[in-house]
């Protein structure tokens, strides 16, 4: 691949300029996301991407897309390096190669989108809005594949550029985050489409850009104005702020437990006590004394949901699970959930018999995945779905379709990523799940960001990264199941088909104008 790139750039300086522009445009997409949320960067990035893909071969377009992806992911997931420095002596030297290698691998997906765009454009030349529609379709196809191939990694989807803009993110309730990405790229590319179009068509294309953005805002505003059931459950979220370097250190368990108990017993009443992922650094269900201390601190009829590792006896030895467990004041476990979407190289080593590498996380062995999304019934509390850590980044895969919950609990430990932009991006995913599912999302994070998120994706309470404390809040009410919650990514397909049908109708009308009317090219 690198040899081919050098040969191509040696033959054509124009390609080198396109590669540089694509790399910068890819980097700009990071500025569209939290904590920056510069919405203006989205049309700049995707318009540049559209322009640099015009009139080149599929092979060259692939390398241009690769450059865009390296900029997008090289900056966007740079925070992953922080996790390698937790145990710097063993893994610090791998930080930069790991981020670089993962960024290059993820860049294959924008490269695929670019190559597909150029291939279709060569065989069936398209102009104007049709060309922008083609780019958006190719983009979202590759982005959907990124979210599903080899366990998937749908981090920083293009649609998350809208997460800090209340009305603009609401259409995800109908078309999901992938659908929102389709709309983001389509609308974002229109200024570039206008620049590339014939002068007589530019005003019409820019008018479509304004109308599309206004329409997106209008639809979202209607949802924001609709009624939501009132809250009926009181929560206490505990953020212990235990550094990852201390979490599993010998003798630290008692100190950690005392800290969580002290925060949990501050004055105030609540129905549910929420601790983050692996808040208890040990096998809590096997530690009767620790359970007694915890449940003695619970108010009467209150329930604790806490992250804790678990192990069960298997045929070939113990099986380890990353779980959230529920306890009441009796000290007995009520129910639990085992994480089913595990982090490669963090919680298990894929192809372990072939790859001579080890996990970067502490533990006795690789984790075993749980059976999948599950709704938990707790006494005196609304039905809850649980997503542990990065499970929350997967659209359409956080709630049981057959047994709909009333809220989502996201227990996480972002201590691995320090004060980087990673926790803000992680929170953005949780906010989008709230909009898509029509369910409030509550996050308990070890070092932040803990938050209560309503069904509009608004953060109604939060504790920032590095803070120690509690959030006392009421659980926001749930909406009826959204179209996306009912039909999943089929709504994306409907959106794409409807968009193509609309453009074809407009083109057909332009080819057969009424008598006495002048023909106007708008595509």
- Catalytic amino acids? 277, 339, 389
The CA distance from 446 to 443, in Å, is 10
Closest CA to 309 of 330, 352, 279: 279
C-alpha radius of gyration, the chain, whole number: 25
For residue 355, CA distances in Å to 22, 83, 352 come to: 34, 20, 5
Q: Report which secondary-structure segment, H or E, holds 143.
A: helix 128-146
Q: What token pair was written down for 126?
A: 């398209």
CA 439 to chain centre: 16
Burial 476-498 (b: 16+ CB within 10 A, else e): bbbbebbbbbebbbebbeebbee
Closest CA to 345 of 5, 77, 83: 83
Regarding beta strands 375-376 and 333-338, do their DSSP bridges make them parallel or antiparallel, or are they unpaired? unpaired
- Measured over the CA atoms of residue 479, residue 460, residue 157 and residue 406, the dihedral's sign is negative
Report yes or no: 399 and 408 within 8 Å, Cβ to Cβ: yes
Give bridge partners of residue 177 from the DSSP assignment: none
């Amino acid at each position: 691949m690198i040899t081919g790139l050098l040969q191509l750039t040696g033959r054509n300086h124009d390609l080198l300029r396109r590669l540089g522009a694509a790399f910068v445009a890819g980097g700009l997409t990071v500025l569209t996301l939290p904590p920056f949320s510069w919405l203006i960067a989205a049309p700049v990035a995707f318009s540049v991407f559209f322009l640099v893909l015009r009139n080149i071969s599929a092979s060259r377009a692939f390398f241009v897309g690769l450059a865009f992806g390296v900029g997008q992911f090289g900056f966007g997931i740079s925070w992953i390096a922080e996790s390698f420095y937790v145990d710097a002596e063993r893994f610090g030297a791998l930080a930069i190669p790991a981020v670089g290698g993962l960024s290059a691998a993820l860049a294959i997906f924008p490269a695929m989108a670019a190559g597909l765009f150029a291939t279709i454009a060569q065989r069936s030349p398209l102009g104007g809005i049709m060309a922008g529609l083609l780019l958006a379709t190719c983009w979202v196809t590759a982005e959907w594949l990124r979210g599903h191939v080899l366990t998937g990694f749908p981090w920083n989807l293009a649609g998350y550029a809208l997460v800090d803009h209340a009305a603009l993110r609401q259409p995800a309730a109908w078309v999901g985050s992938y659908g929102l990405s389709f709309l983001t790229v389509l609308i974002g590319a229109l200024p570039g489409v206008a620049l590339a179009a014939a002068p007589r068509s530019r005003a019409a294309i820019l008018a479509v850009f304004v109308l599309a953005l206004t329409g997106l805002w209008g639809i979202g505003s209607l949802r924001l104005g609709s009624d939501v059931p009132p809250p009926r459950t009181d929560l206490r979220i505990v953020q212990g702020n235990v550094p990852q370097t201390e979490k599993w250190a010998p003798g630290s368990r008692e100190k950690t437990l005392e800290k969580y108990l002290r925060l949990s017993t501050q004055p105030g009443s609540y129905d549910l006590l929420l601790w983050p992922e692996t808040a208890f650094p040990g096998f809590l269900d096997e530690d009767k004394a620790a359970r007694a201390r915890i449940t003695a601190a619970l108010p009467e009829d209150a329930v604790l949901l806490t992250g804790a590792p678990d192990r069960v006896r298997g045929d070939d030895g113990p099986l380890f699970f990353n779980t959230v467990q529920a306890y009441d004041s009796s000290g007995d476990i009520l129910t639990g959930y085992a994480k089913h979407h595990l982090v490669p190289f963090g919680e298990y080593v894929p192809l372990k018999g072939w790859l001579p590498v080890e996990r970067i996380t502490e533990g006795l062995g690789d984790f075993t995945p749980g059976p999948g999304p599950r709704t938990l019934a707790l006494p005196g509390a609304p039905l809850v779905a649980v997503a542990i850590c990065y499970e929350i980044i997967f659209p359409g895969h956080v709630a049981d379709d057959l047994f709909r919950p009333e809220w989502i609990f996201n227990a996480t430990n972002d201590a691995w990523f320090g004060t980087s932009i990673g926790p803000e991006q992680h929170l953005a995913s949780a906010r989008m799940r709230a909009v898509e599912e029509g369910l409030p999302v509550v996050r308990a994070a070890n070092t932040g960001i803990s938050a209560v998120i309503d069904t509009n994706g608004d953060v109604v309470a939060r504790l920032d990264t590095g803070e120690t404390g509690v959030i006392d809040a009421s659980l926001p009410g749930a909406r009826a199941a959204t179209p996306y919650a009912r039909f999943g990514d089929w709504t994306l397909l409907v959106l794409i088909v409807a968009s193509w049908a609309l453009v074809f109708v407009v083109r057909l009308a332009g080819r057969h104008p009424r008598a006495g009317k002048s023909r106007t090219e708008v595509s």
